[in-house]
A and B are shown apart, each in its own frame.
Chain A
Amino acid sequence: MDTKNNLDNFLENRSELSSIRKKLQKEQRQIRINAFLKNKLSVIGLVIVVIMILIAILAPMIATINPADMDVANRLKPPSTKHWFGTDDIGRDVYSRVIYGTRVSLFVGFSVSLISGVLGMIIGIYSSYNKILDNIFMRICDGLKSITSTLLAICLMAVLGASIKNVIISLALVNIPNIARVARSSAFVVREQTYIEAMHAIGAKPSRILWIHIAPNTLSPVIVQMTFVFASSIITEAALSFLGAGVPAGVPSWGSILNIGRSHIYNAWWLIIYPGLFTAISVLGLNLLGDGIRDLLDPLTN
């Protein structure tokens, strides 16, 4: 009889405990959301990023004209009711091309930050665990850093050839060392904590410690770094396309519209202003969002 009572008590307590815990988690989440909303700049950043994502997804509906359509009779025409942002040197609608360019930029930025985030994290966490690997990886990172990401991306594009896939591959390769460093240094901090020592003591396998206990704790700095990689990839993609080494010729991209604008700088301001504004505002939005997430996850910076 006693045992049954105890069991009932235990079960009751446990369900009570878990409901309290759930409530606590909910409250903590609410506190975090409130803190984020209180920071006006990061909310602005979030709004900009959401609008950009919507533009990218809804591009076929928002664009007025097929971005590849050439209206040869109306070349280099200033903004009008038909062509909101004017036309380029072969009569394509700049508004539609800028809208579709959002798709290319965000797709490149998102893929690069995801790929380099995952691979960088794997490399960073492994190298925090193994001294030999660490030395090798860090020397490679130092070397790549000396070549600098801009030059390395330009070279990789020269070797691989212009295509969206290759832009993503080169930018991901260029950004992996960044993420790896961040993951590594926060893994070093986590590794010194007592509970990791305890895991070692009870004989947990290294892979279990690394992936179930250390990896989740390095996630937040990595996510912050990923938003900055997102922003810098948009810049670098635009720069590469501007140089003619990014996306292939026909693909609408902010950088390639700007490239056409450079050759017509005397008479076609709309070829620079509009793609330029889109580039700057989306990068600004991502930077603001990144700063906001960082302040949120790392209260020490305040």
Chain B
Amino acid sequence: MKKYIIKRILAVIPILLVVSVVIFSLVHLTPGDPAVAILGSDATQEDILALREAMGLNDPIPVQYVNWIVDVFHGDLGNSVVSNAPVASVLKGHFLPTINLAAFAMIISLFVSLPLGMVAARKRGKLTDQIVSVIALCGISVPSFLLGLGLMMLFSVKFRIFPVSGYAPWSAGAIEHIRSLTLPAIALGFMYAALMMRMTRASMLEVLGSDYIKMAKAKGVKEGALIGIHAFKNALVSILTVIGQSIIGALSGAAVVETVFGIPGLGSLIVSSIGRRDYEVIQGIVLLIAFINVFINLITDIAYSFVDPRIRVQ
């Protein structure tokens, strides 16, 4: 067990290396001189040269990369080109809304998709199964921002049940908080609910056809226990993969949904930073989300080994 976990953790290192190189080169391939961008086009040549020296832009690219990585490990993500505030503190201010939105979306989609997927597998070919399949098909065909706009038109503009946009933090009261996040969470979670529904149905079907389930049925295990315990536990490995992928997708997909609903999270920050050409902030956000994703993948891998001990041996 320990050996498996250590092996998984070590496998993360090359991935982090690739992630950091890609993000670093993305920003450094940007046409245009960052020093000019900060000082404005009417700055004197001397000022630009001085700033380039101060920012370390005259060093060879590998040296710049190493310096950047060392800074990142010290928690220093540089300063915003526009507001000159440290990127780390800018990110901190926008972190919670994104996490809350993604978590809410995941909770909704898990509660909807797992039972529906299991019921569809149980009633294979029947009307229930077909309805679930159609819902899942719609889920993967309607982009989250489009669903968001539709929900907004229906529930905010027409029926005025939910606010059109804006975000109420926890401190504004739990009900307001949940009200402000309900529509965005549904918009974001629907696609992942559809993916999880499909995967739950498919893997349950596979398990339900196996001999040990027939055996359990023959010895008189009740329907609920059969599906909920015997079958579900074995179907869980492939469902876990989709859950991990969905959390990752929800975190980055939040970029678009947040913009639709005007939620001040990391996603709307990255979109507004693109308009301002604030590459330091963009770099910081992408690095943060990529690191979280690597971490989620690691957790999923380790969770596999708890669910299915065979994986540890391989």
Of B54-62, B89-97, B249-257, the one with at least 4 CB within 8 A of chain A: B249-257
Q: Quick check: A239 and B256 within 8 Å, CB to CB?
A: yes
Q: Quick check: A261 and B275 within 8 Å, CB to CB?
A: no
Kindly state whether residue B299 has any CB partner on chain A within 8 Å.
Answer: no
Q: Quick check: B141 and A143 within 8 Å, CB to CB?
A: no
- Least distance between B243 CB and chain A CB atoms (Å): 16
- Total residues of chain A contacting the partner, CB 8 A: 40
Chain B residue numbers with a CB within 8 Å of A242 are 145, 256, 259
Interface set, chain B 255-307, CB cutoff 8 A to A:
255-256, 259-260, 270-271, 273-275, 277, 279, 282, 285-286, 289-290, 293-294, 297
Kindly state whether residue A37 has any CB partner on chain B within 8 Å.
Answer: no
A152 to B18, CA, bound (A): 13
Partner of B15 from the list A146, A154, A155, A272 (CB cut-off 8 Å) is A146
Chain A residue numbers with a CB within 8 Å of B248 are 146, 148
Partner of B22 from the list A144, A154, A231, A261 (CB cut-off 8 Å) is A144
Describe A's contact surface by its main secondary structure: helix
Report B107-149 CB contacts with A as 1/0, cut-off 8 Å: 0000000000000000000000000000001101111011001
Q: Quick check: A159 and B18 within 8 Å, CB to CB?
A: no
A87 to B30, CA, bound (A): 37
Kindly state whether residue B39 has any CB partner on chain A within 8 Å.
Answer: no
A266 to B153, CA, bound (A): 8
Chain A residue numbers with a CB within 8 Å of B297 are 146
- Least distance between A272 CB and chain B CB atoms (Å): 5
Q: Quick check: A261 and B23 within 8 Å, CB to CB?
A: no
A269 to B154, CA, bound (A): 10
Closest residue of chain A to B19 (Cβ to Cβ) is: A143
Q: Quick check: A235 and B143 within 8 Å, CB to CB?
A: yes
Q: Quick check: B149 and A147 within 8 Å, CB to CB?
A: no
* Interchain Cβ contacts under 8 Å between A and B, 22 examples: A139-B17, A146-B15, A146-B294, A147-B293, A151-B285, A154-B270, A154-B271, A155-B26, A159-B27, A159-B29, A238-B143, A239-B145, A245-B274, A258-B145, A265-B153, A272-B149, A272-B150, A276-B149, A279-B143, A279-B146, A280-B141, A287-B140
**Which positions in A face B, CB cutoff 8 Å?**
139-140, 142-148, 150-152, 154-159, 231, 235, 238-239, 242-245, 258, 261-262, 265-266, 269, 272, 276, 279-280, 283-284, 287-288
